[in-house]
Amino acid sequence: MVAAESILDVHDLHVQFGRQQVLRDISITVPRGQTLAIIGESGCGKTVLLKTLIGLIRPQRGFVEFDGQRVDRLTEQQLAEQRTRYGFVFQNSALFDSMTIAENILFPLRQHRPHERGRHQQEMLDRLGEVGLPTSVLAKRPAELSGGMRKRVGLARALVMRPEVLLYDEPTTGLDPIMGDVINELMMRTRENYDVTSIIVTHDMKTAHKVADRVVMLYPQARLDADEAQMLFDGTPTEIDREKDRRVAQFVRGEAGDRLMEMRDAGKM
């Protein structure tokens, strides 16, 4: 079998804020069409990695390539154009409160494809239907919708540009189990309906098991020895269930393990 061409390549990435190192020696290749889940506890750098992929954060060392182009060598205009090939589904939906749902979904098209104005309305209605929302929501404001509905509007907005890569930041956080699984099903359906590569930052092992082809687990820098790799695991969802590393196994099972003792010793309890 011929290996799929990569769309994203992360090379020896280091990111530091002041004296706080967040990412260290991160190297990941993401083939086209893959769904990658990036997991790990709070503070391990998952969202920082997501932002670095699209050039919102500049690394101190290493670089990211998107479709063969180094992100750090692009001009601001080139970077803006490149980002139109991404779709973003934010943790808190990040909808514009002052806009209607219709205006929120149409926003990327109006910004980047004004010359296709005649197609905007149909694109919006098609994406709205794909995420299972009725047209009656279009005149409402985000505050009038439930959390799950806002998440689905966020996904519709992300899809309206027909992106090559979808980035999800904690897509099921704050949702009840049923609505969380609705979002998982929509992510799977999106993968089936679009030729898209997906990267999902999540704490939710159900999402990782159900949606992802591949799982990478990061560990907080502050809890690693100087010679330890920050990526504790890189493999399939099935393989992570058999992983021997105690830290990985505890995260997958949702067990506190040694953390209570560590917190007490650090004076946090």
**Centroid of chain to Cα 185:** 16
Res 2: pLDDT: 46
H or E element, residue 147 = helix 147-159
Residue 241 three-state SS: coil
* Placement of tokens 């290749």 in the chain: 29
> Which domain-ending residue is among 162, 185, 211?
162
Alpha-carbon gap, residue 40 to 106, rounded angstroms: 34
Question: d(Cα 7, Cα 164) in Å, to the nearest integer?
Answer: 9
Looking at the 3D structure of the chain, how many domains does it have? Answer: 2
Cα torsion for 247, 248, 254, 259, to the nearest 10°? 10
Same domain, 58 and 189: yes
Give the CATH number of the domain where residue 232 resides. Answer: 3.40.50.300
- pTM of structure: 0.89
Question: Percentage of the chain with pLDDT > 70?
Answer: 94
Could you tell me the residue range of the domain that residue 117 belongs to? 99-162
Over residues 245-264, the pLDDT tens digits come to 999 999 998 887 666 666 66
Question: pLDDT of 18-63, one tens digit each?
Answer: 989 999 999 999 999 999 999 999 889 999 999 999 999 999 999 9
Distance between CA atoms of residues 153 and 99, nearest Å: 12
Verify that 11 and 130 share a domain, yes or no.
Answer: no
Residues 117 and 140 grouped into a single domain: yes
User: Is the sign of the CA dihedral 126, 101, 52, 184 positive or negative?
Assistant: negative
